[in-house]
């Protein structure tokens, strides 16, 4: 039994004394202890070495005592497992030297045996669970099929993913074939993570906001819904789409245990759009963690009042930025832990 199950209780919609708190991307780049590891090992070595991944996962827990840990990994391990080469270039980000833009490209994409191709992730889960010792839950995650398609077609990060969107609009049949391959792999991957011991899973649709509401339904949401349907009976699923306020209603009705909200949607609007019946997660602007700690505390307290303490998980509206001072992150976590209704 997990000793601090506040996060899991909030996902079930139970009444709690205060909301649970964790931060997207809490394991990593803003922590000095992570920087030490980063000096010695490249990005995918950190992801693919269970001892390193588990150590990075628990670093923020030791420092701040969040109510949930999220496994250190990357959404791009799935394309790697699907026979798509992915590099992580320093000061550049992800780079895919052979992007998927034709039928010939798509033919080389496989649906892997995830236990073999991504076994190192399952080993990292086992190692992390040992370190956590049932103190708090562990979250596993994956990128949405659409978000992964963006990288697989564009070949790198982008502000607009024009090549990826153009691929969908000019070759929709190929796009849907690629999206389905990614979806099938993601479902198998998340099921394996649950079997390995994660207590909940989150689907990150980081680039969903690039699409119009109509195109979102066609190229993103229907595939996320498949993932939710496949996982919801074995683990709580959190769905998070950045810039996807227009899809909050569908997300709330999907069977997901919780819906993530970014900082561009107010708590009041998020409750209204989701019908008020689903647990919400979010939505502190990550850049606001640059504000003075006393101001952060006040804003966090107000955020909890605006969402309401029940059916709510306190979090950021996207991943923590690398330049956030550690005492500012602490002010965010402490403000939630000290909240009194």
74 annotated to a ligand binding site: yes
Q: Which one of 9, 29, 63, 215 is the catalytic residue?
A: 29
> Would you call 25 a catalytic residue per the annotation?
yes
Q: Which one of 9, 38, 215, 310 is the catalytic residue?
A: 38
318 annotated to a ligand binding site: yes
Check if the beta carbon of residue 65 is closer than 8 Å to that of residue 337.
yes
> Would you call 18 a catalytic residue per the annotation?
no
Half-sphere exposure of 330 (CA within 13 A, CB side): 7
29 annotated to a ligand binding site: yes
161 annotated to a ligand binding site: no
275 annotated to a ligand binding site: no
Q: Which one of 25, 120, 215, 310 is the catalytic residue?
A: 25
> Would you call 46 a catalytic residue per the annotation?
no
Q: Which one of 5, 67, 74, 205 is the catalytic residue?
A: 74
> Would you call 151 a catalytic residue per the annotation?
yes
> Would you call 165 a catalytic residue per the annotation?
no
143 annotated to a ligand binding site: no
9 annotated to a ligand binding site: no
327 annotated to a ligand binding site: no
Q: Which one of 30, 64, 151, 223 is the catalytic residue?
A: 151
Residues tagged in the binding site annotation for substrate: 25-29, 44, 74, 151, 206, 318
Give catalytic residues, as residue numbers.
25, 29, 38, 74, 151
Residues tagged in the binding site annotation: 25-29, 44, 74, 151, 206, 318
């Amino acid at each position: 039994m997990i000793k601090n199950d506040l996060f899991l209780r909030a996902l079930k919609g139970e009444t709690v004394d205060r909301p649970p708190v964790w931060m997207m991307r809490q394991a990593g780049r803003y922590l000095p202890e992570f920087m030490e590891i980063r000096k010695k090992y490249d990005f995918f070595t950190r992801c693919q070495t269970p001892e390193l991944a588990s150590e990075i996962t628990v670093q923020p827990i030791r420092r701040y005592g969040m109510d949930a840990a999220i496994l250190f990994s990357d959404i791009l391990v799935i394309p790697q497992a699907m026979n798509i080469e992915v590099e992580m270039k320093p000061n550049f980000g992800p780079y895919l030297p052979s992007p998927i833009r034709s039928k010939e490209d798509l033919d080389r994409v496989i649906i892997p045996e995830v236990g073999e191709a991504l076994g190192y992730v399952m080993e990292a889960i086992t190692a992390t669970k040992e370190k956590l010792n049932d103190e708090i839950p562990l979250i596993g995650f994956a990128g949405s099929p659409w978000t992964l398609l963006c990288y697989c077609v564009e070949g790198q990060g982008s502000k607009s993913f024009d090549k990826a969107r153009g691929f969908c609009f000019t070759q929709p049949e190929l796009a849907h074939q690629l999206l389905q391959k990614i979806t099938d792999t993601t479902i198998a991957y998340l099921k394996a993570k649950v079997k390995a011991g994660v207590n909940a899973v989150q689907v990150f649709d980081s680039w969903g906001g690039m699409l119009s509401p109509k195109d979102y339904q066609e190229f993103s949401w229907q595939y996320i819904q498949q993932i939710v349907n496949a996982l919801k009976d074995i683990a709580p699923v959190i769905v998070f789409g950045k810039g996807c306020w227009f899809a909050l209603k569908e997300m709330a009705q999907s069977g997901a245990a919780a819906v993530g909200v970014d900082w561009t949607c107010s708590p009041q609007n998020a409750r209204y759009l989701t019908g008020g019946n689903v647990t919400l997660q979010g939505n502190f602007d990550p850049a606001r963690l640059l504000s003075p700690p006393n101001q952060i505390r006040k804003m966090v307290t107000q955020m909890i009042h605006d969402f309401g303490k029940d059916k709510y998980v306190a979090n950021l509206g996207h991943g923590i930025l690398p330049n956030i001072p550690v005492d500012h992150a602490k002010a965010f976590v402490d403000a939630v832990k000290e909240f009194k209704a």
